[in-house]
């Protein structure tokens, strides 16, 4: 079987420059994602008994003891017909090997060696990359009798581990360490931590992976007519107009009532986790079905998490009556998402690459707003004005509520502390009034704004 590689994959090196990049390859269900989660200290790779769960290559900073390196989880290697989904998955694995300094070929110690192991060991050797053979699931003593079979693969002495139980990690460290440059890795690690986390989310088939590939200018993640191709949230480091960005592609998020399999639930949970840790979220919607109920559910999730939001309307080239669709979208935003008035909306075609840069530019602009800090002096000058313009109602006890002062507690999102007597009696409608004026007067469109009420004690009150 001939496995082709996307020629543009070499462009990957402009996105990430770690000293050591290690990829994990092998048949389906040998434990690649389990090892990935073990070494990265995360649960970012979905693990399931069903074969073929991993479909895209997934990257993260990994650690064994003091050693840090970039680790790539890959789809399972299996023979497939040309132009099938499995063939495209194989291309992802081939691209990962091309990008790697070291390849770990993982095999299953419980099942013993199978013909596919021999085939893919030969395939890996032809890639002119150093290959380390690692036997997984070695926690059982019964596996010992199978170990000698793997010497026939011609990949040298194997390392025996249990990814699930964390056994054999010291031996794995010993085989990776000769390829590791500590000083350079530490420098690269510092650079990697200074990225803007930009997640692309939306319903299935909105075009998220197509947008990701267009931005990166390579077929980095799988796309196709099949629904639900993307499962794991895939993060790629990328440089755009001098900004270090970590792009995150996610699985399509359907209504929970329609999620009927455990595997899809894991994928959706991974997408929500990406929202939770993102700085900015691009909500991609289909122009032919703009801002349906599920789109608004996702948008509200982004707002509840305090993330900055950009709405990108995809497949804009397929719309004839554009004015009608634009009016419909803005009406739904005003009526259903009034708490983030001014959220940026861009109209794109991910397939054709039309105006996709505008979506990223909007994300960078709202990221600045999301990080904006206002001085306490300016806030209290403004506060005096809005209090005079619209006085506070009386407290439930009939006493007058007095707001003493206001300060910004934090950014990301802009959060303000309001100190007042009888603070709990301030009506929600008055808080909305303050937020609305903050948004306009300090130019904070489209980002969540939070006001935390703090009780201001009377210093003359006897205890």
Residue 202's nearest CA partner among 310, 69, 54, 334 is: 310
270 with 361, same domain? yes
Residue 430 tokens read as 């008055």
Using a cut of 0.75, tell me whether the model's pTM lies above it.
no
The two beta strands, 345-347 and 403-410, are unpaired
pLDDT tens for each residue of the chain, 463 residues long: 333 333 333 333 333 344 699 999 888 888 888 999 889 887 654 444 444 445 467 888 898 877 889 998 887 765 555 555 556 667 777 888 888 899 999 999 888 888 889 888 888 888 889 999 999 988 876 666 677 888 889 898 888 899 988 888 888 988 998 888 755 445 444 444 468 999 999 999 899 989 988 998 888 775 555 555 555 678 888 899 999 999 998 888 888 766 666 766 777 888 888 898 889 999 999 999 989 999 999 999 999 999 999 999 999 999 999 999 999 999 999 999 988 999 999 999 999 999 999 999 999 999 999 999 999 999 999 999 999 998 888 777 778 888 888 999 888 899 999 998 888 888 899 999 999 999 999 999 999 999 999 886 554 454 4
208 contacts: CB under 8 Å, gap ≥ 6:
200, 201, 202, 230, 249, 250, 252, 284
Examine residue 390 and state whether it is found in any structural domain, yes or no.
yes
Examine residue 154 and state whether it is found in any structural domain, yes or no.
yes
Domain's final residue, options 370, 391, 418: 370
316 with 423, same domain? no
- Is 304 in contact with 332 (CB distance < 8 Å)? no
Whole-number Å distance between alpha carbons of 267 and 256? 12
What is the number of structural domains in the chain? 3
CATH number of the domain where residue 419 is located: 3.30.300.20
Domain's final residue, options 157, 183, 209: 183
Examine residue 217 and state whether it is found in any structural domain, yes or no.
yes
Domain range for residue 334? 194-370
Whole-number Å distance between alpha carbons of 404 and 383? 10
Place of tokens 């085939």: 119
Whole-number Å distance between alpha carbons of 382 and 134? 64
Examine residue 448 and state whether it is found in any structural domain, yes or no.
yes
Examine residue 343 and state whether it is found in any structural domain, yes or no.
yes
Cis preceding-peptide flag for 413 (omega within 30 of 0): yes
Cα separations in angstroms, 366 against 303, 306, 309, 412: 13, 13, 8, 11
pLDDT at 326: 96
Examine residue 339 and state whether it is found in any structural domain, yes or no.
yes
363 with 380, same domain? no
219 with 301, same domain? yes
159 with 217, same domain? no
Domain's final residue, options 350, 370, 390: 370
Whole-number Å distance between alpha carbons of 28 and 387? 64
Examine residue 188 and state whether it is found in any structural domain, yes or no.
no
Examine residue 95 and state whether it is found in any structural domain, yes or no.
yes
308 with 383, same domain? no
Residue 309's nearest CA partner among 175, 137, 446 is: 446
Whole-number Å distance between alpha carbons of 451 and 100? 48
102 with 138, same domain? yes
- Other CB atoms within 10 A of residue 366 CB: 24
Greatest CA separation for the chain: 87
Q: What is the dihedral of CA 266, 259, 252, 201, to 10 degrees?
A: -80
CATH number of the domain where residue 122 is located: 3.40.50.300
238 with 111, same domain? no
pLDDT at 264: 66
pLDDT at 222: 59
174 with 214, same domain? no
Residue 119: exposure state from Cβ atoms within 10 A (0-12, 13-18, ≥19): middle
pLDDT at 51: 44
217 with 152, same domain? no
151 with 75, same domain? yes
167 with 242, same domain? no
pLDDT at 192: 47
């Amino acid at each position: 079987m001939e496995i082709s590689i996307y020629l543009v994959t070499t462009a990957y090196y402009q996105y990430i420059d770690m000293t050591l990049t290690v990829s994990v390859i092998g048949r389906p269900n040998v434990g690649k994602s389990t090892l990935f989660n073990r070494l990265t200290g995360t649960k970012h790779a979905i693990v399931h008994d069903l074969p073929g769960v991993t479909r895209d290559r997934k990257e993260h900073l990994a650690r064994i003891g003091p050693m840090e390196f970039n680790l790539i989880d890959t789809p399972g290697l299996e023979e497939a017909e040309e132009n099938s989904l499995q063939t495209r998955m194989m291309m992802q694995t081939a691209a990962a090997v091309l990008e790697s300094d070291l390849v770990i070929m993982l095999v299953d110690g419980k099942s013993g060696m199978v013909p596919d192991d021999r085939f893919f060991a030969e395939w890996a050797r032809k890639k002119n990359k150093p290959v380390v053979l690692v036997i997984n699931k070695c926690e059982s003593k019964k596996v010992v009798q199978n170990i000698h079979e793997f010497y026939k693969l011609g990949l040298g002495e194997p390392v025996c581990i249990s990814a699930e139980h964390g056994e054999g990690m010291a031996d794995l460290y010993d085989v990776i360490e000769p390829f590791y440059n500590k000083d350079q890795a530490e420098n690269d690690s510092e650079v990697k931590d200074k990225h803007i986390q930009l997640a692309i989310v939306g319903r299935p088939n909105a075009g998220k992976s197509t947008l990701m590939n267009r931005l990166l200018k390579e077929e980095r993640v799988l796309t196709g007519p099949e629904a639900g191709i993307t499962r794991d949230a895939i993060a790629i480091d990328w440089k755009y107009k001098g900004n270090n960005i970590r792009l995150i592609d996610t699985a399509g998020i359907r209504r929970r009532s329609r999620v009927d399999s455990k595997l899809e639930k894991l994928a959706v949970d991974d997408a929500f986790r990406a929202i939770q840790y993102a700085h900015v979220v691009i909500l991609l919607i289909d122009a032919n079905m703009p801002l349906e109920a599920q789109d608004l559910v996702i948008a509200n999730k982004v707002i509840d998490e305090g993330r900055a939001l950009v709405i990108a309307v995809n497949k804009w080239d397929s719309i004839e009556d554009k004015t009608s669709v634009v009016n419909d979208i803005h009406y739904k935003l005003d009526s259903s998402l009034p708490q983030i008035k001014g959220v940026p909306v861009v109209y794109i075609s991910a397939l054709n690459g039309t105006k996709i840069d505008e979506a990223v530019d909007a994300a960078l602009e709202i990221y600045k707003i999301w990080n904006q800090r206002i001085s306490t002096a300016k806030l209290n000058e403004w506060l005096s004005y809005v209090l005079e313009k619209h006085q506070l109602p009386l407290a439930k006890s009939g006493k007058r509520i007095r707001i003493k002062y206001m300060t910004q507690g934090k950014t990301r999102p802009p959060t303000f502390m309001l100190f007042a007597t009888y603070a709990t009696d301030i009506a929600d409608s008055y808080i909305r009034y303050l937020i609305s004026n903050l948004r306009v007067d300090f130019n904070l469109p489209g980002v969540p704004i939070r006001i935390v009420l703090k009780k201001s004690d009377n210093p003359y009150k006897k205890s």
